[in-house]
Amino acid sequence: MTILTHVGGPTVLVELDGWRILTDPTFDPAGRRYGFGWGTSSVKQRGPALAAEDVGPVDVVLLSHDHHADNLDDLGRALLPRATTVVTTRPGARRLALPDVRGLTTGATTRLTAPGKPPLTVTATPCRHGPPLSRPIAGAVVGFALSVGDRPGVAVWMTGDTVLNRPLRRVAHRLDVDVLLLHLGGVRFPQTGPLRYSMDGRDAVELLALSRPRVAVPVHYDGWSHFSEPPEHLRGTLAADPGSRSAVRWLEPGTPTGV
């Protein structure tokens, strides 16, 4: 059984076969506006369900990208040295310069070992954090697929912040996923009008039909002013699709939940 604790936003503590894995650490309180570059910004509207000091020991931080505060804020950044290993993008690894930080490009893998735990293989999956040709502006982002020991399939897939595009569809069709962490919310900014920078509920329905995970857990869909899809609309969209409805689990923030 995998145990998930949703701290808030994209931040989830994943307890998997003895490994304690934290995704995209965000622990700042609500109320502050953060700049995202090129004149864009967002206000954090909801604080974390757990404080950083209450998370406990962390073996691995999976950091989809380090340059947006809704995925790594000040208190999240302060937590990174406590983790044994940080896995992120190659540019992010250079910027962070931590003792054991591993930078991956899409498709690359790294293997983690620790006494008393089965080996953990982390594979970077494709992300495009915006419309076509937006990578020079949005920066490098990756998702992560986790495999344990020699067990077939993917134990956990974290999509990261991405729109639904051809590379993501190909990966979703190919992977055999047990637990899927979906970054949603339909991010938009006034400066770029209708352009979206992350998936919405309709995208999630399509991705679930392709990947067919045993369990799908929406995260990073509320708590910031740059999310354009209201949570109730997201819930309605997923509930209206029979395949999505049977797979989706909604987590109570701060409550460890076996899935």
Q: Tell me which residue range forms the domain holding 91.
A: 3-258
pLDDT per position in the chain (259 positions), as tens?
Answer: 899 999 999 999 999 999 999 999 999 999 999 999 888 999 999 999 999 999 999 999 999 999 999 999 999 999 999 999 999 999 999 999 999 999 999 999 999 999 999 999 999 999 999 999 888 888 999 999 999 999 999 999 999 999 999 999 999 999 999 999 999 999 999 999 999 999 999 999 999 999 999 999 999 999 999 999 999 999 999 999 999 999 999 999 999 999 9
Which of 124, 133, 131, 135 lies closest to 158 in space, CA to CA? Answer: 124
Q: How many residues does the chain have?
A: 259
Angle between helical axes of 166-174 and 201-211 (0-180°, round to 10): 40
Express each pLDDT in 25-34 by its tens digit: 999 999 999 9
Q: What is the CATH number of the domain that holds 186?
A: 3.60.15.10
Distance of CA 235 to CAs 96, 179, 221, Å?
36, 18, 10
Helix, strand or coil for residue 96?
helix
The predicted model scores a pTM of 0.97
Number of domains observed in the structure of the chain:
1
CA dist 162 and 254 (Å) reads 25
How many other C-beta atoms lie within 10 A of the C-beta of residue 69?
A: 21
